[in-house]
Structure 1
Amino acid sequence: MAQPEIPEPVASFVEAVNRHDEQAFLDAFTADGVVDDWGRVFPDRDSIKTWSDTEFLGARGVLTPEEVTVDGTQVTVIGDWRSNHANGRSSFTFEVDGGRVARMTIREG
């Protein structure tokens, strides 16, 4: 199955995650970027890094996109998430602002 086309900057974000590139992952966020992981909110770069070190990049996570929808500045990628921490179909919704990710929300896919 061919992977769906993902618009920038989300495409580069997913690529950074899948190659476990911490610098590119963190730099993809706006200065006040936020991660909402199933209701747990990480409101700044330091807390995003701490979360990612154990549950995202540090858990060797890989996202295989299956569906993509775009609604204005919101991009939702639904796909198969595999890591040492959690596995399964998940929905990643990105709020894009000025070529960066302002917010990433993770929910059940």
Structure 2
Amino acid sequence: MDQLDEPTRRLLDAANANDIDAFLAGFTADGVVDDWGREFRGADEIRGWSDGEFIGKQVSLAVEDVRRSGNETTVTAAVGGNGFNGPSHFTFTVDGDLVSRMTIRE
């Protein structure tokens, strides 16, 4: 976990705390969640997605691996909760002290 940049760490912590407000605050104003090709842009769309599929399902993310390249951090995590469960890769694109994009893939 020491390889995590601070914006990515804040988003993961907010997700694990099931704190939607802190999660949304971690994104840029035009931030995007790309969930297997479905894109949700801005706080309202991200909230709608998260309420139905992420924090609203009491997600938990157990970080197993972290890889950084430039302004991107890819996290391999075991996903738990009341929705999808299993391994996933999350790539976070950082813009300043916020995340501009979170891409989720298997």
Q: TM-score range by the shorter chain?
A: over 0.9
2:6 aligned partner: 8
1:95 aligned partner: 93
The alignment of Structure 1 onto Structure 2 pairs a total of residues equal to: 105
Distance between the aligned counterparts of 2:42 and 2:95, measured in 1? 16
Deviations 1:19-75 (CA, angstroms, capped at 9, x unpaired): 011111000000000000011110121110000001000000000000000100001
Distance between the aligned counterparts of 1:9 and 1:36, measured in 2? 17
Distance between the aligned counterparts of 2:58 and 2:94, measured in 1? 24
Distance between the aligned counterparts of 2:40 and 2:11, measured in 1? 17
Amino acid at match of 1:13: L
Deviation at 1:102, TM superposition (A): 0.1
- Counterpart check, 1:40 vs 2:34: no
User: In proportion to residue count, which structure has more helix?
Assistant: 2
Distance between the aligned counterparts of 2:47 and 2:74, measured in 1? 22
Aligned pairs for 1:51-62 (under 5 A) are 51-62=49-60
User: Which structure 1 segments of 5+ residues have no match?
Assistant: none
Amino acid at match of 2:57: A
1:50 aligned partner: 48
The equivalent position to 2:24 in structure 1, one of 23, 26, 35, is 26
Root mean square deviation of aligned Cα: 0.7
What secondary structure sits across from 1:9 in the alignment?
helix
What secondary structure sits across from 1:14 in the alignment?
helix
Displacement over 2 Å in runs of 4+? none
